[in-house]
Structure formats: structure tokens, C-alpha cells
Amino acid sequence: MSYIPNIIFLILLIGSIGLFVSNLLKIRRNINLGKGETLEVNNSGKRFKNMMRVAFGQGKMISRPVAGILHFIVYISFIIINIELVEIIIDGIFGTHRVFLPMGKLYGILIGSFEILALLVIVSVSIFWVRRNVLKIKRFLENKMMGWPKLDANLILYFEIILMFLFLFMNAADAPFQEMEIGNPISGMIYNNLLVDIDNLHVLERIFWWSHIIGIFIFMNYLFYSKHLHIFLAFPNTYYAKMEEKGKLNNMKSVLNEVKLMLGTQDNDSGLNESSENIVFGASDVTDLSWLQLLNAYTCTECGRCTEACPANMTGKKLSPRKIMMDTRDRIEEVGRNIDKNGSFIPDNKKLLGDYISNEELWACTSCNACVQECPIDIDPLSIIMDLRRYLVMENSSAPIQLNNMMNNIENNGAPWPYSQMDRLNWKN
């Protein structure tokens, strides 16, 4: 008996898991380039519930029933069908074939259910493809969505369809050799129409088996280059999502630090003893953002629900909250590649603010929170916009003239209007 297939399988398995883990660690390192985040630590129960509702239960997707239901079918089916992977991996390592077949009726029920789910995935994913490529839905047509983002979205759809077909064809080519107590509903039909000599079916089954598992290894590692990373990251992202009321802005720790340093009231163990030269007000680059904001950027699915709900975008302004998230992710990836190449970050004369996101985009935001409300996985584009704006105001003194006038008026008159406090009673005129 030749062990060569088992050895090849083991090499592929270890190699793809190794690559997966190494990519995961790179993303973790990139996310940790962000600053600390103050999270309420005592509500892990509430956070867990939110994660189960939003990430696992897809609670916010259902606000658009058609896309929501189709997405749910693909997601749940994919998870369930992948149970089959356990058997494939055992068979691959030990050279067995359908090691769980002795489970009898239960095995037949499982494989039959997987096949029905695989068919549902093919149908749902095909509808997604039509929505993206034929129906020309406006939110998929933004400039930022052309080129790689569009190709990436389509590639994943093709991947999913091909993997499901390989699974069904693998079962079909194996159908006459397995005595399942319950027949294969879909692969049975395929087998009846396979115009292949029974003597060649074994070869065909091996081809589909290997193609299917190699396809899964490729798919798993492709995710790191794709917006589909949200399959994994949606869970931590929704767990750590902001739990406070949406309108509440976070206090700037840097301002608090500065005031405490001036008053000499900083605690010795509070970490507030940073020299004021190192303090940055707001954010100009990804490393000034918090790790949670960077996790948000990696998790973004590029669905565009935020942009569709954004009043600034609706009225023709340049702002798109989806683009804010995509730019943040592109920039952190660029910083990560710089570190990979040089061992540590070598300044590249680029910043998130200016090179990726313009002042015009930032000042178009009304801070209405519609984008945060609409996001199906609790991403907060507004917090990044606010931190970049804070930098513009507090570090660059470059707020729009109307805002500068208003801030001067508040400073001088105690109100946004250009009238003296002494004339307060005349304001009504």
C-alpha cells in the first residue's frame, strides 16, 4: 500500500494551516499597532449576547430580508457542510475512505442534508452574482468598488460555487460504491446523468476529492487578501463593539493627560506621565487610531449599507463611510508590508489623513451616526472620522472657516453667534 497520497495530503494540510496561522498573526500584529482602547470590562455577558445576535445570528442583516435571508443560508450552510471536512481530513491522513460510513442511517441523513444545503448555497450565491453584476445596484458601483474590490467579491462567489459543485460531484462519483441507508438526493441525480464508465468512476472520484480539499485550502488562505475576512473577524468585532449610546463621543485621553500633566495631578500608575511631545491629539495615521478601529477596518465587508444611508453621500458630497473603512484597511496593510520588508516601520512620507482621506470628505460628515446604525457588523466609521477631524482642529488648526468663527464666538461670547453677551436680551430681535 502506497503512503504517498497520505504524505502529500499531510504536507498540504500542515502547509495551509501554517500559512493561515502566519497570516493571522500578521493581522493581529497590524491591529495591535493601534492604541489602547477603554472598554467597559464588566459587561462580558452583554457583549457575548451582542456577538451571538449580530455575528452568529446575523440580527442586523435581516433589515433587508432578501439579501439577509440569502446571506444567512450561505453562512449557515457553509458552516454545516464543513463538518464534512472532519471526515475528509481523517480519510486524507489515514488513507481511509468515508470513515464515518459505519454510522449508518445517521451518516446518510448528514450527507443528504449537506447536499441539499450545497444546492441552496449554489442558488443563493448565483443570485448574489446577478445582483452584483447584472442588476447594477448603486451601492456596488462606487468608484472605490471598481477593480480589485469587485474582482474580490466575484472571486469569492466563484469559489463558493465551485467548492459546492466539487462536493456534489465527489459524492456522485462515489455513489455506486457506497451502500448508504439513505440515498444522496442531489449527487444521486448527478450520478444518473454522468456519462462515465463505472470503471473510471474511482479515478473521477479521486479527482473531485483532491480538487475539493485543495480548493478549501486555497479558499481558507485567500480570505486574508479579501474582504471576506469578516467570516472570522465579525465575532471579535461585535464582541468588542461600542456598547454606549450612539451619540456619545469618547473623551480624548490625550486631552485628559495634558490637563493632568499641567495640574500635576497625574497618578503615578496611570500611564499618564508621557512627555507632552509624544501626545497626539486625534489621529493623522492608522497608528494613532485604536486597535478597535483597526479591527473594524479589517472586518468591513464592503457591503455599502453605511454609504447608502449616509445623508452626506446622498446629497452628492464626496464622503463615503465605506471608503473611510476601506482606506483605513489599505493604509494599515501598507504599514504592515513596510514592517515585513524592513523589520520595523520606516517612514514612507504617507499618512491616512491626506494621502487616503481628504479634508473635504471629513468635513462633509454630519456626525448623524446613520452609518453606525446601518452596519450589519457594528462597525463605527464615525469614530475614525471624528479622530481625523480632531487632529485637523487641534494639531493643524485647519478647521473650515465657519467652524473657526463659531469656536471663536463660543470662546469670546459664550455662544456660537457673533454678538456680545451684554446684548443677550437683544438676540431675539
Which residues contact ligand SF4 (rule: CB under 6 A)? 300-306, 309-312, 319, 321-322, 325, 365-371, 374-375, 377, 379, 381-382, 385
- What does residue 357 show for φ and ψ, rounded to 5 degrees? -115, 130
H helix or E strand, kind and range, residue 216: helix 201-222
The C-alpha cell at 145 is 468598488
- Look at residue 410 and give its three-state secondary structure: helix
Residue number, 270 or 367, with CB nearest to ligand SF4: 367
Residue number, 164 or 297, with CB nearest to ligand SF4: 297
Rounded-to-integer distance, Cα 64 and Cα 137, Å: 14
- Least separation in angstroms between CB 287 and ligand SF4: 21
Residue number, 50 or 301, with CB nearest to ligand SF4: 301
Residue number, 288 or 308, with CB nearest to ligand SF4: 308
Rounded-to-integer distance, Cα 113 and Cα 107, Å: 10
- Least separation in angstroms between CB 158 and ligand SF4: 22
- Look at residue 343 and give its three-state secondary structure: coil
Maximal C-alpha separation, the chain = 100
* Residue 130: closest CA among 103, 157, 168, 104: 157
Residue number, 69 or 368, with CB nearest to ligand SF4: 368
- Least separation in angstroms between CB 249 and ligand SF4: 11
The C-alpha cell at 199 is 470503471
Rounded-to-integer distance, Cα 122 and Cα 160, Å: 8
- Least separation in angstroms between CB 193 and ligand SF4: 41
- Least separation in angstroms between CB 55 and ligand SF4: 12
318 DSSP 8-state letter: S
- Look at residue 340 and give its three-state secondary structure: helix
Residue number, 228 or 305, with CB nearest to ligand SF4: 305
The C-alpha cell at 314 is 446622498
- Least separation in angstroms between CB 83 and ligand SF4: 28
Dihedral of CA atoms 403, 407, 412, 414 in degrees, nearest 10, equals: 110
Residue number, 366 or 420, with CB nearest to ligand SF4: 366
- Least separation in angstroms between CB 371 and ligand SF4: 3
Angle (CA) 5-6-8 rounded to 5° is: 65
Residue number, 322 or 331, with CB nearest to ligand SF4: 322
- Least separation in angstroms between CB 370 and ligand SF4: 4
Q: How many CB atoms lie within 10 A of CB 322?
A: 27
Instruction: State the sign of the Cα–Cα–Cα–Cα dihedral 231, 235, 236, 240.
Output: positive
Residue number, 51 or 312, with CB nearest to ligand SF4: 312
H helix or E strand, kind and range, residue 149: helix 148-174
Residue number, 212 or 305, with CB nearest to ligand SF4: 305
Rounded-to-integer distance, Cα 226 and Cα 375, Å: 18
- Least separation in angstroms between CB 71 and ligand SF4: 12
Rounded-to-integer distance, Cα 125 and Cα 123, Å: 6
H helix or E strand, kind and range, residue 10: helix 4-31
- Least separation in angstroms between CB 317 and ligand SF4: 8
